[in-house]
């Protein structure tokens, strides 16, 4: 697992976007795994800018998103589908039919089938963008005695519900379940970049770099097993975690 420490969150976002642009330029038919969440959100304006500046072409790119809340309509303004449309897809030349964000409204078992078809029907992911939850989750894979490899329905951790309640009227409105890629799905991506910032992520990032352990109590720690996973944090977060470098 590689660590990159930037001078600021803004610089982290630019760095991640630049990596994605380079990847698409090297492989115009790239299949990208995408992420929502407040941290990943600020990566997308840099991708849109690169497109507007003629530096990248998304016309042959396909995408699969990590997760969605169960019961969430794709039309709901806080759905991950709407987030992706608003932040990215509606502003670049990607074909909408080449983008997939699971529907939280469909029958869960049928949607798991569709999700797997999108993940494995043609080729594996060339890249996966990740954020990390305050619980240490990736996608919505929460800490637990065991982790699940494949696409599944996951009960959200109380800390995730609290953290994500900022997007809803109240914590009671946050869905309690999600449909998510499993850790095995994420780990099959050829290249993974995780971006983290902010004081709330200090406990999980500190734990991640405290030692060499991999544990289902800290789902993000599975990235230590990946050949090409990079964690991008800013100096402020690194300092909080006591990480030198
Ligand atoms: N399901 C998403 C995760 O994929 C994301 O990593 C996490 C981090 O969010 P934020 O960056 O807003 O802290 O948010 C949600 O829970």
What pLDDT was estimated at residue 244? Answer: 86
pTM for the predicted model, two decimal places:
0.97
Q: What pLDDT digit, counting tens, does each position of 130-142 carry?
A: 999 999 999 999 9
39 lines ligand 1 (CB under 6 A): yes
Q: What pLDDT digit, counting tens, does each position of 16-46 carry?
A: 999 999 999 999 999 999 999 999 999 999 9
Nearest residue by C-alpha to atom 2 in ligand 1: 37
132 lines ligand 1 (CB under 6 A): yes
Residue 113 CA to ligand 1 center (angstroms) comes to 24
For the chain, list residues with pLDDT below 50: none
Whichever domain contains 70, its CATH number is 3.40.50.1360
What pLDDT was estimated at residue 33? Answer: 99
Nearest residue by C-alpha to atom 4 in ligand 1: 139
What pLDDT was estimated at residue 245? Answer: 73
ipTM of the modeled complex? 0.94
What pLDDT was estimated at residue 233? Answer: 98
Pocket mutation for ligand 1, best pick of 12, 72, 130, 133 (most atoms within 8 Å of C-beta) = 133
- How many independent structural domains does the chain possess? 1
Q: In what order do the strands lie in the sheet with 152-155?
A: 67-69, 177-180, 152-155
Closest CA to 197 of 162, 164, 236, 150: 236
Nearest residue by C-alpha to atom 11 in ligand 1: 39
DSSP conformation class of 208 = H
What pLDDT was estimated at residue 180? Answer: 98
* CA-198 nearest atom, ligand 1: 13
The strand pairing partners of 196, in sequence order, are: 233
Angle (CA) 18 20 24, round 5°? 115
- d(CA 17, CA 53) in angstroms, rounded, equals 14
What pLDDT was estimated at residue 41? Answer: 98
Nearest residue by C-alpha to atom 3 in ligand 1: 139
Q: Tell me the residue range of the domain where 105 lies.
A: 2-241
């Amino acid at each position: 697992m590689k660590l990159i420490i930037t001078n600021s969150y803004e610089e982290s976002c630019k760095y991640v976007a630049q990596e994605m642009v380079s990847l698409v330029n090297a492989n115009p038919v790239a299949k990208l795994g995408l992420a929502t969440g407040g941290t990943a959100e600020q990566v997308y304006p840099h991708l849109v800018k690169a497109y507007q500046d003629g530096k990248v072409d998304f016309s042959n790119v396909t995408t699969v998103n990590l997760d969605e809340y169960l019961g969430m309509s794709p039309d709901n303004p806080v759905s991950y589908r709407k987030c992706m449309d608003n932040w990215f897809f509606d502003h670049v030349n990607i074909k909408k039919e080449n983008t997939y964000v699971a529907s939280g409204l469909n029958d869960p078992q049928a949607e798991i089938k569709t999700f797997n078809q999108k993940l494995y029907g043609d080729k594996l992911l060339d890249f996966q963008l990740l954020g990390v939850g305050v619980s240490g989750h990736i996608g919505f894979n929460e800490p637990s005695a065991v982790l699940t490899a494949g696409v599944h329905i996951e009960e959200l951790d109380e800390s995730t519900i609290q953290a994500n309640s900022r997007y809803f009227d109240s914590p009671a409105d946050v869905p309690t379940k999600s449909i998510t890629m499993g850790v095995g799905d994420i780990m099959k991506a050829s290249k993974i970049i995780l971006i983290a910032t902010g004081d709330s992520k200090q406990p999980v990032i500190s734990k991640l770099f405290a030692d060499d352990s991999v544990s289902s109590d800290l789902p993000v720690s599975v990235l230590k097993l990946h050949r090409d996973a990079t964690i991008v944090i800013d100096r402020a977060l690194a300092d909080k975690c006591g990480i030198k470098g």
